[in-house]
A = this chain, B = another copy of it.
Amino acid sequence: MNNENASCPEKHFFGPSSSRITVKGFTYPIEVGMRSVALTRSYECKGESFTSMPLYDTSGPFGDPDFSHDVRKGLEPVRDGWGFDCGAVESAGAALSMTGRKPRVAKAGEAVTQMHFARKGVITPEMEYVAIRENQALESWIEKRGGKPVTPEMVRDEVARGRAIIPANINHPEIEPMIIGRNFRVKINANIGNSALGSSIDEEVEKAVWACRWGADTVMDLSTGKNIHQTREWILRNSPVPIGTVPLYQALEKVGGKAEELSWEVYRDTLVEQAEQGVDYFTIHSGILAATLPYAEARQTGIVSRGGSIMARWCRAHKQENFLFTRFDDICDILRSYDVAVSLGDALRPGSIGDANDVAQFSELKTLGELTLRAWARDVQVMIEGPGHVPLHMIRENMEMQLKHCHEAPFYTLGPLVTDVAAGYDHINSAIGGTLIASLGCSMLCYVTPKEHLGLPDRDDVREGVIVHRVAAHAADIAKSSPTAWLRDELMSKARYAFAWEDQFSLALDPLKTRQIHAQNMAATGDTAATA
């Protein structure tokens, strides 16, 4: 399986019909990467002929078959060449180990966030990039279908309102910018490194690139263990997608795993350390308050969020309010200096359907809404994390409450899982709830793998988790009437009706598996299946 080596870009990962194309910016010298699939014939859709289709692509330069890469050097810092003046920035701290570059930081009192520029009316290269990217070079088709192509100005406006975020740390110049918001394509996140077993740079980078290859729009690095700093550096320097982390996990390691020994100082230093490296968003559990802990104790399954459990223990040990809450303005002052977005963690998310939409969950959601306003007051980009375990008929209320209490900040959910008894199939369970909540306005789905609740995902699980959530995200885009999503389905259906197998492989969300199953079937029967 040569073509399954994710960071071996000289291979045609998705087959020879797939190639990388770039679209140039109007205002900035950007080159927006996409994947184009050549079709074997011409398909007529609403009077337009298609012999190829450009697809949104998350694999970055790895998607270019001619790309030559050295994981020890990392990707090109493409954003540095876009000539945008970030304002009052200086270099500070120790040079980064892989590149030797000194981290950048805003001068005291200054902000360098996308929200800051958006509110000043400035369109950044990142805004132009995501506008072009979202349209998939299909502007005329979008208009023909009665849609409106995304414009840089529309992106600016959404970011200024806080209804979308562009996670793009000024110290992560390697990324292809992307946007998270409900008026854009639904995104998915893949978690990696929840195992302490990986050890080499090749292994760690391969994990991150593997997830992007299959369609992860962002990657959360949940690595633990001794080499946590170095591992993150490897991943950041080689990642074409934004990287998120939970800084609390590293802070906890610094105090020997004892939650009660956590302190603001240790946590603050961890934030700075990771911000300097270039992490694009932090999950921060500021919403769990001492006053709401009794609500959680009355539950079927208490607190299932790891970050939530840590802070609950800290609060109880110190008989004090959560310092991630009391110090939230200080946290935001750090984030605004690097443009790290905050993903407000749902420490009290339900861990069983019996706990869904309860007072613990919704009281935290209201707190997250207050924190959103505090972050926005400092021009910090915000998204809100969501459940968890929620029965299908209670999902809409979750979305409505989130929009209402969190002032339309983007929602980023894990699942929701719609039953508790699907162990071994929780990726599917998650895709069921995820499709519905995304169709109702959730902006990004955190993937769940078949190992959820049971063990650590391997390579196959990551692929399965990513693709299944791509199915969910795409189905939600279809439900939201996205013209680009509909075009892909229309071309696929026309190829299917014409028995044009190569085109079906090219347009499928998993071209490799589709081709493989078909080949096995042809070998066994020489024919295709029909259903009643």
Chain A residues with CB under 8 Å of chain B are 191, 194-195, 197, 220, 222, 246, 283, 300-302, 305-307, 345, 351-354, 389, 391-393, 414, 418-425, 428-429, 431-432, 435-436, 439, 448, 450-457, 467-468, 471-472, 474-476, 478-481, 485-486, 488-490, 492-494, 496-497, 504, 507-510, 513-514, 517-518, 520-522, 524-525, 528-532
In the bound complex, CA of A418 to CA of B479 (Å): 8
In the bound complex, CA of A197 to CA of B525 (Å): 9
Knowing A194-B531, A478-B353, A530-B306 touch, does A300 contact B493 (C-beta < 8 A)?
yes
Question: Which of B195, B450, B489, B532 is close to A419, meaning CB atoms less than 8 Å apart?
Answer: B489
In the bound complex, CA of A496 to CA of B350 (Å): 13
In the bound complex, CA of A521 to CA of B478 (Å): 37
* CB pair A439 B532 closer than 8 Å: no
Q: Nearest chain B CB to A455's CB is how many angstroms away?
A: 3
Contacts of A479 in B (CB 8 A): 391-393, 418
Knowing A301-B493, A421-B507, A514-B423 touch, does A454 contact B352 (C-beta < 8 A)?
no
Contacts of A490 in B (CB 8 A): 300, 352, 354, 420
Q: Nearest chain B CB to A479's CB is how many angstroms away?
A: 4
In the bound complex, CA of A529 to CA of B392 (Å): 25
Q: Nearest chain B CB to A457's CB is how many angstroms away?
A: 8
In the bound complex, CA of A283 to CA of B532 (Å): 8
* CB pair B354 A489 closer than 8 Å: yes
A299 closest partner in B (C-beta): B497
Contacts of A510 in B (CB 8 A): 423-425
* CB pair A439 B521 closer than 8 Å: no
Knowing A345-B532, A493-B300, A497-B351 touch, does A435 contact B418 (C-beta < 8 A)?
yes
Question: Which of B420, B520, B522 is close to A489, meaning CB atoms less than 8 Å apart?
Answer: B420
Q: Nearest chain B CB to A525's CB is how many angstroms away?
A: 6
In the bound complex, CA of A389 to CA of B492 (Å): 13
* CB pair B421 A525 closer than 8 Å: no
Contacts of A301 in B (CB 8 A): 493-494, 496-497
Contacts of A521 in B (CB 8 A): 451, 454-456
6 other A-B residue contacts (CB within 8 Å) besides A419-B489, A424-B513? A391-B479, A414-B531, A419-B485, A424-B514, A436-B436, A456-B529
Knowing A420-B489, A424-B517, A425-B509 touch, does A392 contact B452 (C-beta < 8 A)?
no
Q: Nearest chain B CB to A452's CB is how many angstroms away?
A: 7
List 18 A-B pairs, Cβ < 8 Å. A283-B532, A300-B493, A352-B497, A353-B489, A354-B486, A392-B479, A393-B481, A421-B509, A422-B471, A423-B514, A424-B510, A428-B431, A453-B496, A453-B529, A454-B517, A454-B521, A456-B521, A456-B525
* CB pair B222 A421 closer than 8 Å: no
Contacts of A305 in B (CB 8 A): 532
Q: Nearest chain B CB to A208's CB is how many angstroms away?
A: 16
Q: Nearest chain B CB to A466's CB is how many angstroms away?
A: 11
* CB pair A422 B191 closer than 8 Å: no
Contacts of A474 in B (CB 8 A): 419, 421-422
* CB pair A529 B455 closer than 8 Å: yes
Q: Nearest chain B CB to A147's CB is how many angstroms away?
A: 15
